[in-house]
Amino acid sequence: MVYPKNAFAQTEKIQFDTYGTLPLEVTILKAAQPRISLLYFHGGGFLYGQREDLPQDYVHQLLAAGVSLYLFDYPLAPEVALHDIYLHAKKAVEWFLTEGWQFSGVGTNEYVLFGRSAGGFLATLLTARTKHSEQKGLIRFYGYQELFCKEFLQPARFYTQFPKVPPLAAEAMIESQPITHGTLEKRFPLYLSARQYGNWQRYLGNREQLAALAIPAAAYQDFPPCFVVHCKKDPDVPFSASEAFAAQVSRAKTLWLDLDQHDFDRTPNAIADNCYQEMIGWLTNQF
């Protein structure tokens, strides 16, 4: 992705970890006048996507507001189980805390986590299970925190309207080696099949592994301030997931959008513009 050059002082691409021989990298976009570090995890149902998926317009707005961005890789499923994905996301945060913060220009290792969709789940999991006093906030766009909700355990009505991708055809898309970058064209059919046949969890690991990632209700009581966004008629991730999350944490700013979309901000539009401005206002009030 090409970012506007005048919005930031410096760009770095650094290897922060490995998964076997697979390098795990972070793109760091340092704001010209940095005041906040935002650690970002992308969406894609853990089966597709890539770290630099934020629309350029919103990257520009964040940088202009003094937000230094850290866009992290994680290995994708099903080549890698979700449990291991979580462990390497945990290492990403630990790397930031020990050395990565020095690239931000902020002068402190305080940070806010930001995730969209699956990345929202990952950011929530990190907040719940790897508590750090340096974490000052959590931003969740159309995320979830329950892998076994009924909507994920049965064929999704929205996805069954598309031509079927049989499980055998989907499994043929799985790589022989772990990857961090899965294009929409190549990997979305894998997710489509998983939702059409109600077997998405099978691509993430066995039931015992996934159950071990469950977030205890008590963990939400200690969450930092949260900014939560979701469309009320989301056809992919149920709106009830964000409603339930916001009800469990003590400090949540919510934006419930009257739209029938999931990733409503995949391309710039007036509603998404307003949402990011609200988010930036919330962020700057935290720091």
Q: Is 90 exceeded by the pLDDT of residue 4?
A: no
- Cα dist. 26→51, 73, 187, 260 in Å? 8, 6, 21, 32
Task: Give tens-digit pLDDT for 180-208.
Answer: 999 999 999 999 999 999 999 999 999 99
pTM for the full predicted model: 0.96
Cα atoms found within 13 Å of the Cα of residue 210, Cβ hemisphere only = 17
pLDDT given for residue 286 in this prediction: 80
Contact between 43 and 116 under an 8 Å Cβ cutoff? The reply is yes
Q: Counting Cβ atoms within 10 Å, is residue 37 exposed (0-12), middle (13-18) or buried (19+)?
A: buried
Task: Give tens-digit pLDDT for 204-240.
Answer: 999 999 999 999 999 999 999 999 999 999 999 999 9
pLDDT given for residue 280 in this prediction: 97
pLDDT given for residue 285 in this prediction: 87
* CATH code linked to domain 5-286: 3.40.50.1820
Rounded Cα distance between 143 and 187, Å, is 20
Every domain of the chain and the residues it spans: 5-286
- Which pair of structure tokens corresponds to residue 100? 């990565």
Q: Is 60 exceeded by the pLDDT of residue 171?
A: yes
pLDDT given for residue 145 in this prediction: 86
Place of tokens 């539009």: 269
Cis preceding linkage at 78, omega within 30: yes
